Amino acid sequence: MGLKLESVIPWGRSLAEYIRMFNLTPDDLQLKILDCGGGPASFNIEMTRLGYNVISCDPVYQFTNHEIRERIQKTYQKVIDGVQANLDSYVWHEIQSPEDLGQIRMSAMQQFLEDFLQGIQQGRYLTAELPVLPFKTQQFDLALCSHLLFTYSDFFSEDFHLASIVELCRVAAAVRVFPLLNVSGEASPVLQPVMEKLKAQGYSVEIQPVPYEFQKDGNQMLQIKSVV
């Protein structure tokens, strides 16, 4: 059956994971990147330390550091217990166990929490949420959306997914979404209809393999581009 969640949760991932989830090349890292729905990931601070250009947006950034930390603590054990109860739904290679998963995620989220105030002051973390973003048209070269669209397709409608991706295509020249499975590890039921509607609107839409797999069969991303 797979992991079940009652709402979107704060759950952060690292730069190393982003590179593999989105198959980011050294040239990609040089681009102006939007991390949409970034949550408490360490991607922004790790990229910033290396001199790269990333803006992250998420509605959770409206809260204080303390409030975000409390949200993480409230959901952390529930996620780990849910993963423990569904061990066969995951690939235990680079991540060895649910306890290892917890340590990896908390390490990323701790880096985020230590950077959050400075990142807010520097304008690297902005409070915003799909399907309407406060950015200029084509402000970014690349928009990334990790573990939000398709992941939470039980909560967000097909129309929400379509409007969100169209909006991401407005603000960025290319959009990458990972993964294409829902939280339970099943193929998202909105993926194919959303792809068909995007193609009908003239977008270039392509499913691409990536060198990352934690959810079984969760090793694909969707890349979307406007066709001018």
Indicate the average pLDDT of the chain. 94
Checking if the pLDDT of 6 tops 80, the result is: no
Checking if the pLDDT of 127 tops 60, the result is: yes
Percent of the chain residues topping a pLDDT of 70: 96
**pTM higher than 0.85:** yes
pLDDT at residue 1, as a whole number: 47
The DSSP result for 111-138, as a single string, is HHHHHHHHHHHTTSEE--BTTB--S-TT
Domain range annotation of the chain:
15-226
Q: Strands 172-178 and 140-146: what pairing? A: parallel
For residue 6, give the 3-state DSSP assignment.
coil
| Domain 15-226 indexed as CATH 3.40.50.150 | yes
Torsion angle defined by CA atoms of residues 34, 178, 101 and 44, in that order, rounded to the nearest 10 degrees: -10
Secondary structure element (H or E) that encloses residue 81, with its range: helix 65-84
pLDDT at residue 2, as a whole number: 56
Instruction: Give me the mean pLDDT over the 181-206 stretch.
Output: 96
Checking if the pLDDT of 5 tops 90, the result is: no
Instruction: Give me the mean pLDDT over the 49-65 stretch.
Output: 97
Mean pLDDT highest for which of 4-8, 10-14, 76-80, 222-226? Answer: 222-226
Nearest to 143 by CA among 123, 119, 167: 167
pLDDT at residue 7, as a whole number: 56
Instruction: Give me the mean pLDDT over the 41-52 stretch.
Output: 98
pLDDT at residue 173, as a whole number: 98
